[in-house]
Structure 1
Amino acid sequence: VSIGAYKGWGFGLMAEILAAGMAGGVLSQDVKPLKAPEGAPHDLGQYYIVLDPATGPNFAERLSTLAEACQTDPGGRMPGQNRVPSDPVDVADDLWKLVTDLAAA
């Protein structure tokens, strides 16, 4: 049984469909050992979904409410809760133009 039972398995399948199926990478069953000292590139696929939280109503408030609820469970915390955020994040102008052009397409 995978971590997360059938829901965890479903998330893993979704990631594989996007990264291998749509991006053209190899299927996970065909990936060679990642620590192999020699050999051809692994041809692993990557798939990115870029979301703008500003498009959702009251995103920050809703996220804050969710984070508070997570902390009521013993040992519960939000991922990255104890990390110091990088703000602002530097993105090269040409890369940002490429991202925004792709998002508009």
Structure 2
Amino acid sequence: MDLDLAGAELRAVLNRLRRAQGQISGVIRMIEEGRDCEDVVTQLAAASRALDRAGFAIIATGLQQCLIDGEGELKSPEDREQMRARLEKLFLSLA
């Protein structure tokens, strides 16, 4: 399944991933500096949420795109069911 993230959707996902990247770098730095455990865990939880939200945004966009073919028409029920099963598997991998 190819995912075509365009415009604002792509920017939003990339921003979430960059935010998570910065938070993970912060967690590494905090551990190296011997910072308070509670602060480290709080920052780690924020990074985890940012990654989850990026994944959910990708899946939601994929779901929209998978229901419609290249000409803007709804795909057949069989195609939609196959895609639903694949997206459900992806969604559960994030849960």
Provide the TM-score with structure 1 as the length reference.
0.26
Q: Name the structure where helix makes up a greater proportion of residues.
A: 2
Provide the TM-score with structure 2 as the length reference.
0.28
For the pair shown, the structure with the greater C-alpha radius of gyration is 1
